[in-house]
Structures are given as C-alpha cells and as structure tokens.
A = this chain, B = another copy of it.
Amino acid sequence: MSGSVTGLPRLPPANRTRDAINVIAEYISRTGLKPNERLPTEHEVMAALGIGRSTVREVMRHFQALGVVETRRGSGSFLLKPVSAATVHVPLSFDPGPVRDGLLQTLDVRRGLEVEASMLAAVRADADDIAKMRATLEEMERVHLEKGTAGREDLAFHLSIYDATHNPLFGQIMEQMRGAFESFFEKPFDRPDFARRSFPFHRELFDAIAGRDAPLAREKTLQILAIVEEDIKDMSK
C-alpha cells in the first residue's frame, strides 16, 4: 500500500485550536480555578495566547459541549466542573427513544452502578463516611416526614454513598446522567409520590453499609430500585 510506515503515529495537521484547548485546560488546573468561577474574557485569552477570537470561541464551544464550561452572554464564561490537563472526557450519546424507554434503560445502568457502589461502600467506608451518610439520611428522613417528599435530600444521601466508595467515578457518572435527563424531559423525580414506598428501605440500606454487610447492602439497593422501576412503569400507564 501507500507509505504507511509503522512507528510513525500520523500527527494531526497543525491545529492551533486543539493546542489552545490543552493550554486552557492546563491553565485552569494550574491557577486552581474552582467551579462557578469566571474564566478570562475572550479578549484576554486572545491577547494572552496570540490567537484570533474565533479560535478562542471554538475552544470555549468545545468545553461547553463537554459540559465543563458555561458561557453567559454579556457576563463571561464560567467553570462548571473542575478540569485539568489530565482530565479524561468521555462523551456518551444514545437515543432513548420514548421517554419511558429512556428512563428504564438508564435504570438498568443505574442498577448496576448503585448496587456496586453500595457494596463497595460497605467494604471501604471509614468512620467519617458513615457519619456523613448518617447525617444525610437523617436530614432526608426529617424533610420527608415534614413535607412528604425529599427529592433533593434523597439525592444527597445517595451521593454520600458514592463518596464512601472513595471512587469519584460513581458520583460523576450518576450525577451527569441525571442532569442530562432532567434537561431533556420533565423531571419525574420531583413528583410528590414518586418512589415514596422506597423511603423505609433507605435506613435499612444505611444500616447494612454501616454494618459492613455487602450482600445485604446489595439486597436493599435492589429493593429500592425495584420500587423505582415499578413507579416508572405505573407513571407511564
């Protein structure tokens, strides 16, 4: 065939935009920019890197697509998620089809992740993790008894479980999947009666994790998700 010499890794044709993307990522990590903080203006970046504004805008559009940056017209660009030169970006794309199918498909994935997270939490959680889980659980129970629902606090409890795995991937995947879904179709997770029946199982799940009983933690997680599945099916007739 034509000159396909092995060992020479076909380098991309000089690409200032891609370079600028890496430089910006490195800049963010070097300056320790935190989420919600503002990035330099397009003109500043332009002048600093010696590139045109359209190139700067393509860089920003890149980070926007990755959900790392949000730019507000008239205000500037703001960091949404921490990032560094070593950050790995994994864009997922899928067609959920009808809403109901999309929810059930993600539930399959969620089941896999949540079960694993619960088991790992039961094995790896330290005293601080358990204390934090207990705190979020009790806050959730309090709000639930008071208002009859506790979507936000429920989420906080599950996030504290992810944290207890000491593996940031779980929290990030679940949170970002949830975010993507909320923005695309109405959020059914805020319905007052949604998954209400799963409420008592949360304390049982916590007890299982705190008691280092991984199989039981798995069982309780499956029970919670089974209720969620039923409610999704009921909800969509």
**In the complex, are the beta carbons of A112 and B105 less than 8 A apart?**
no
A48 within 8 A of B: no
How far, in angstroms, from A176 to B90 measured CA to CA in the complex? Answer: 6
**In the complex, are the beta carbons of A167 and B105 less than 8 A apart?**
yes
**In the complex, are the beta carbons of A90 and B180 less than 8 A apart?**
yes
| Residue of B57, B64, B73, B89 touching A92 (CB-CB under 8 A) | B89
In chain A, residues 70-122, which have Cβ atoms closer than 8 Å to a Cβ of chain B?
A: 73, 81-84, 86-97, 102, 105-106, 108-109, 111-117, 120
**In the complex, are the beta carbons of A86 and B97 less than 8 A apart?**
yes
How far, in angstroms, from A67 to B121 measured CA to CA in the complex? Answer: 32
Residues in B neighbouring A86, C-beta threshold 8 A: 95-97
A66 within 8 A of B: yes
How far, in angstroms, from A80 to B126 measured CA to CA in the complex? Answer: 43
**In the complex, are the beta carbons of A172 and B92 less than 8 A apart?**
yes
**In the complex, are the beta carbons of A167 and B89 less than 8 A apart?**
no
**In the complex, are the beta carbons of A90 and B88 less than 8 A apart?**
no
Given contacts A108-B116, A112-B112, A115-B116, contact A87 B95 (CB under 8 A): yes
**In the complex, are the beta carbons of A92 and B173 less than 8 A apart?**
yes
Q: A67-B93, A90-B91, A105-B167 are in contact. List 12 more A-B contacts (CB 8 A).
A: A13-B73, A61-B61, A66-B91, A68-B91, A88-B95, A88-B102, A88-B184, A94-B168, A95-B168, A109-B167, A111-B116, A112-B117
